[in-house]
Chain A
Amino acid sequence: MTDPLHLASFLHNSAVQTALWIGALAAILNGSIGIFTVLRQHSFAGHALGDGSSAGGAVAIFLGSAALWGFLGMAWLAALAMGALGLRRARERDLATGVVLGATLGISALFLYLDVSSTQASGATVEVMFGSIFALDPQLLWPTILLVGVAIALIVLLYRPLLLIAANPDLGRAAGLPVRRLELLYLLLLGTAAALSALSIGVILATALLLGPAASALRLARRPWQSFLYAQGIALTAVLGGIYLAFMSYYWSDGASWPVSFFVVLLILLLYLASAALASRRRTKR
């Protein structure tokens, strides 16, 4: 039987299976939390958290401990620092984020260098910066399911108050919401999302997964909850499609497969452009 799409070998490959599951979980979480990141214009902070978690990943590889906890620990630490430092004054936020980001990047430069020179882990840079989704440890799956499950449950419970304080924090305060605690919760969820996607599709591409699907969904949604579903759908399409295309590229380009991250970002960009076109067509029709 011929199988030009190689679907059978794709789905029966255990490395691919792990990649699909973890990629899907990261996509669902990033799509949802990205809604708040785009609304709050926190793109730089979201990106910085992903980059910052890379320092944790590099340290974890150096210490020989599980990368997941390195990524997560650093992202949560950075999220708490951001909450303490500069949520209030937006003018300062940009600079403070940039300076902290510079420091964490410097630290990850050091530990990646140490990783390479002391442990012969020559792939550490690539692993941390671009992710290595086909080489993920299947044991990561359960902690990831747990983290994403808890995060999604919190978002489902709290998306309405979170939307209100993103719209106008004073309206939230007047409605009796604990605005500071909710903002901190959002930052911790953002850190979790950044760490997970940094681990799966790599630190820098995490930004596209966080922002692209959410920004596309916010254009198209007509109801509050729709924006979350659309964002999750777009993120899932991009990640799963990207993994499949990367797998297929092995057959197209005799042996040298192209990186997953390239295809994921390409799909995110195309879907973003499509949503812009769709939204403008909808507007002219009306």
Chain B
Amino acid sequence: MPAFSVSTDPVLEVSNLGVRLGGRQVLQDISFTLKKGSVSALIGENGAGKTTLLRSILGIQTWQKGSIRVLGKTARGQLSQIGYVPQKIAFDPYLPLRTRDLVALGQTGRHWWQRSDTAAVAEALAAVQAESFAEQRVGMLSGGQQQRAVIAHALARRPRLLLLDEPLANLDFASASRLVELLGVLARKQGISVLVTAHDMNPLLPILDHLVYLVGGRAAAGNVAEVVRSDVLNRLYGYPVEVLQHRGRLLVLPENPQQGLEIPCHVHEHLDQHD
């Protein structure tokens, strides 16, 4: 598997990362880099270690081996450059924060008792089209709206690296494609590097530059043309996968699931997710 082409100024550089959790080696020898303004997907099944990897990049999760560098420095000093959207978001209806307040809380780099930068808040709200519910309590919003509020919260600090953990899991078809479009715009127009985790790469394929596959605690990384090929995917998944081309777009499907009796477990999880 070819590694990413080494760019001149990698926004994120993960090398030989190893993480143990509760006596288990969850991640092992993970290496990849992200370039400025690129969109990358972190793909893997449940428990593959996607969340663990994102938390390690943030420095929330301690790791045992290897190094992680954000904009050339360790992540701890660079938190103001990273926006993070956690996997499960469900705000309490009692929480006395409006969407606008939550977004303002995303700003870092000034003391907590100082006034927030209203221009940055307005910009972040506009980016996710959250103006219509900016004055409502976050706990009263729908799941998808809460997710957009948290993305705005992450954007309010004007990050250069945006980490999103399964942002598509709660969204309907239209909202999902709108979010994918937004991520593409953030990367292309504002030069933010985006790293998104997902079980399913299909909705992300239109904007995707790179893929990082997590299998058995190890990573395989490459750009779309290198990885989204049936022979490569067959090897990664361990069962037959078909890559279709439809009106210039790629689509990844398990091969003839109706014929073989053994439906790959990946698809099962998939169905469970969306039912």
Contacts and interface: CB of A to CB of B under 8 A. Distances in A.
A120 interface: no
A171 B112 contact: no
A86 interface: no
Interface in A147-180: 156-158, 160-161, 163-164, 166-168, 170-171, 173-176
B96 A218 contact: yes
Nearest to A215: B94
A173 to B, nearest CB: 5
A214 to B, nearest CB: 9
Contacts of B167: none
B92 A167 contact: yes
Contact of B95 (A39, A173, A215): A39
Size range of the chain B interface in the assembly: 20 to 34
Contacts of A160: 105, 112-113
B96 A226 contact: yes
A104 interface: no
B237 interface: no
Nearest to A170: B86
Given A160-B105, A163-B105, A171 B153 contact: yes
A221 interface: yes
Contacts of A161: 105, 112
A160 B153 CA distance: 14
A224 B97 contact: yes
A176 B80 contact: yes
B63 interface: no
A38 interface: yes
A32 interface: no
B213 interface: no
A215 B92 CA distance: 13
A132 B108 CA distance: 47
A39 B93 CA distance: 9
B102 A223 contact: no
Contacts of A223: 96, 98, 101
B60 A158 contact: no
Contacts of A54: none
B167 to A, nearest CB: 15
Interface in B155-177: 157
A158 B92 CA distance: 20
Dominant SS at the A interface?
A: helix
Contact of B79 (A168, A175, A221): A175
B186 interface: no
A219 B96 CA distance: 8
B91 A167 contact: yes
Contact of A38 (B83, B94, B150): B94
Contact of B58 (A167, A173, A221, A227): A173
Contacts of A156: 113
B91 A168 contact: yes
B64 to A, nearest CB: 19
A157 B113 CA distance: 6
Interface in A203-235: 215, 218-219, 221-224, 226-227
Given A175-B106, A176-B79, A224-B101, A167 B95 contact: yes
Interface string B74-94: 000001101110100101101
Contacts of B101: 223-224
B170 to A, nearest CB: 15
Given A167-B95, A171-B86, A174-B84, 7 more contacts: A163-B96, A164-B105, A170-B55, A170-B86, A171-B150, A175-B106, A218-B94
